[in-house]
Structure 1
Amino acid sequence: MKNLIILFAFVLFAATAQSQSLTQKDITGTWLVVNVENSSSNPQMAAAMTNAVINLYAENSFEVKEKQENGSAYVYNTTTNKNATWSFNPSTQTISTTRTKMSFKISKSGDKVFFTEQDSGLKLEVIKPI
């Protein structure tokens, strides 16, 4: 009976851990930054990433667009280098980029998804608006 309980607990733990993992297909697309945590670790980057858009395209190109106030309207300016690309490591749940210093650790808590920029420590809560 004790072994059965241990086996059940292990299966439950493994299922929970697996459900928190994302695939490359899951993360491909447009992500809107809705909240920036740990903003004191890099205030300038935190301000730039507030309401930013992160595009992870299927052909592995990558761009970040920062929201800029332009009079009464908002516009987005691309801030990443041309031809920047991304790759995903499913075992570590990390996104690496080229032509930029950004790399993200992806985590999921309940229905929330977070991209934590590894150099700055900024934790970006993101959603797929589309």
Structure 2
Amino acid sequence: MKNILALFAFILIAATAQSQSLTQADVTGTWLVVNVENNSSNPKLAAAMQHAVINLYADNSFEIKERQQSGANYIYSTTSHKNATWNFNPGTQTITTNRANMTFKISKTGDKVFFTDQQSGLKFEVNKPI
């Protein structure tokens, strides 16, 4: 009986972990930063990334656009390096970039997706508006 309960618990945990894994196709696209957590760890970067757009294109090119206020309107300024690329590791659920030297750990809690910058410790709640 103990073995059956242990097996059932293992299957339940494995199914939950598998359902939260993302694929490269899931990650590819435009992501809008809707919230920055742990912003005291790097306030300057946190402020810059508030409402930023992260583009992970299908050709593996990569860009970050920061939202900046221009009078009453907002404009987006590209802050990533030209010819920057990204790679996704499905085993570790991480995105690495070559020129910006950023590594994002992807996690999913319910319907929320988070990109955690491994260098700064900032956790970005993101959604895919497009």
The alignment's TM-score, normalised by the length of structure 2, stands at: 0.98
Partner of 2:63: 63
In percent, how many aligned pairs have the same letter?
A: 73
The alignment's TM-score, normalised by the length of structure 1, stands at: 0.98
Alignment of 1:11-90 (within 5 A): 11-90=11-90
Q: Please state whether the residue corresponding to 2:5 is helix, strand or coil.
A: helix
Partner of 1:129: 129
Q: Gapped runs of 5+ residues in structure 1?
A: none
1:93 equivalent to 2:90? Answer no
4+ residue segments displaced more than 3 Å: none
> Residue 128 of structure 1: CA displacement?
0.3
Distance in 2 (CA, whole Å) between partners of 1:66 and 1:103 is 18
Q: Please state whether the residue corresponding to 1:45 is helix, strand or coil.
A: helix
Q: Please state whether the residue corresponding to 1:39 is helix, strand or coil.
A: coil
> Residue 66 of structure 1: CA displacement?
0.1
Q: Indicate the larger mover: 56-65 or 95-104.
A: 95-104
> Residue 101 of structure 1: CA displacement?
2.1
Q: Please state whether the residue corresponding to 2:22 is helix, strand or coil.
A: coil
In angstroms, what is the RMSD of aligned CA positions?
Answer: 0.7
Q: Indicate the larger mover: 79-88 or 95-104.
A: 95-104
